Amino acid sequence: MSTIFSGIQPSGELHIGNYLGAVKNWVQLQDRYECIYCVVDYHAIIGSFEPDDLRRRTREMAISLFAAGLDPEKSTLFVQSMVPEHTELAWIFNTVTPLGELERQTQFKDKAQRQESVNAGLLIYPVLQAADILLYRADLVPVGEDQVQHLELAREVARKWNAKFASELFLEPKPLLTATRRIMGLDGQSKMSKSLGNTIGLLEEPDAVWAKLRPAMTDPARVRRTDPGTPEVCNIYHLHKAFNDEATVEHVAVQCRSAGWGCIDCKKVLLDGMMRELTPIRERARELEAHPELVTDALADGAARSGKIARETMRVVRETMGLR
């Protein structure tokens, strides 16, 4: 069975953009692959952070992931800093990675331009990403188009280290380009993102979701209730596609074009569809919050399984390189 690796930042509770864009796919992959998933807290310390807040966000992310369907019996889920071999391998990879390659990374250039002071972590975090993947000799990495460049760097690092030490230890991981959805925020303008405040939390109660959904942006051409709309330009319609079946989606389009429904009617149908999928997730999360030992144990078990693979990889790396 091929091995898959993927990581997610500890940003606290998942929102539906993370869920539909990545995590729902992770859950499906666990039936077909050996999946190793990681909450990447070492990556999260590049910017400013409060230790207590980081601890809380890491735990909330783990709860969201288990509640969303990651099954500790099928997948390995752990927190990156529980397996310190990630940073050890990253240091080793720093010594074979050309500086120019890192400086050319689009995400580095974008972020560096927006920040007053740039630390070295921002430049070399793709090397840590390479270490995350290569440590487990993963064959496949589920990525969106914007992550392909980082994966290419991981492939190059694997080639360079193997060539330098005449080894075949590291596999060159391939992208598993999945039909990841780019979920727009409730403003209908930009990608759903916590920093933009345009999200719906995966675990929010129906009342709270409705309070956000009700004023959410729709087709701007529908000024009056009797104005016909164009569903394709409306973010609510795209959310229907994510949460409702084909027949419902078709019905939404007909009602929108004919002004049969007002946007509030349409959003109520969306809320029902969302809650059908999200209520069991929310209930599982509440159960995990009430039994924190279940999360602690599952993460410890995940770290034990991933740590075993990581230590074996590092044993070979050290031996090959003449390190103690």
Interacting residue with ligand SF4 among 16, 127, 200, 263 (CB under 6 A): 263
- Is residue 164 a contact partner of residue 158, using CB atoms and an 8 Å limit? no
Residue keyed to tokens 């580095």: 108
| Among 74, 160, 174, 194, the one annotated catalytic | 194
**Shortest Cβ 183–ligand SF4 spacing (Å):** 15
* 191 included as an active-site residue: yes
How far is 75 from 47, CA to CA, in rounded Å? 29
Whether 272 and 52 have beta carbons less than 8 Å apart is answered as no
By CB under 6 A, the residues from 238 to 257 that bind ligand SF4 are 252, 256
Interface pick for ligand SF4 out of 218, 244, 306, 313 (rule CB under 6 A)? 218
Among the candidate windows 58-66, 185-193, 262-270, 280-288, which touches ligand SF4 by CB under 6 A? Answer: 262-270
Other C-beta atoms within 10 Å of 187: how many? 13
Q: Binders of ligand SF4: how many residues, by CB under 6 A? A: 14
The amino acid at residue 185 is G
Candidate list 74, 111, 160, 241, residue with the active-site label: 111
Q: How far is the CB of 203 from ligand SF4 (least distance, A)?
A: 24
CB 140 within 8 A of CB 177: no
- Report the 10 Å Cβ neighbour count for 182: 13
> Tell me, what amino acid is at 59?
R
CA distance 154 to 137: 11
Residue choice 63, 83, 239, 266 for contact with ligand SF4 (CB under 6 A): 266
Query: β-strand 174-177 against 3-8: which pairing, if any?
Result: unpaired
Stretch that binds ligand SF4, among 13-21, 203-211, 214-222, 310-318 (CB under 6 A): 214-222
For residue 112, give the amino acid letter: A
Asked whether position 219 contacts ligand SF4 by CB under 6 A, the answer is yes
Nearer to ligand SF4, 77 or 269 (CB): 269
Bridge partners, 177 (sequence order): 143
Single residue of 35, 234, 278, 288 touching ligand SF4 by CB under 6 A = 234
24 is catalytic: no
Q: Of 17, 231, 273, 302, which lies in the binding site for ligand SF4, with binding defined by CB under 6 A?
A: 231
111 is catalytic: yes
- Choose which of 15, 57, 150, 222 interacts with ligand SF4 (CB under 6 A): 222
Exposed, middle or buried: residue 243 (CB in 10 Å: 0-12, 13-18, 19+)? buried
Q: Identify which of 170, 128, 205 has the alpha carbon closest to the alpha carbon of residue 320.
A: 170
229 binds ligand SF4 (CB under 6 A): yes
Residue 48: how many CB atoms within 10 A of its CB?
5
Q: Cβ of residue 194: shortest distance to ligand SF4, in angstroms? A: 24
Q: Which of 109, 164, 191, 308 is catalytic?
A: 191
Strands 174-177, 75-79: pairing kind: unpaired
The verdict on 12 binding ligand SF4 (CB under 6 A) reads: no
**How many other C-beta atoms are found inside a 10 Å radius of the C-beta of residue 278?**
25
Of 63-71, 106-114, 230-238, 289-297, the window that binds ligand SF4 (rule: CB under 6 A) is 230-238
Residue span binding ligand SF4 (CB under 6 A) among the ranges 23-31, 168-176, 200-208, 216-224: 216-224
Q: What is the DSSP letter of 75?
A: E
Q: Is 67 an interacting residue with respect to ligand SF4 (CB under 6 A)? A: no
CB 26 within 8 A of CB 7: no
Shortest distance, CB of residue 186 to ligand SF4, whole angstroms? 12
Active site residues: 111, 191, 194
Q: Which residues sit at the interface with ligand SF4, rule CB under 6 A?
A: 218-219, 222, 229, 231, 234, 236-237, 252, 256, 261, 263, 266-267
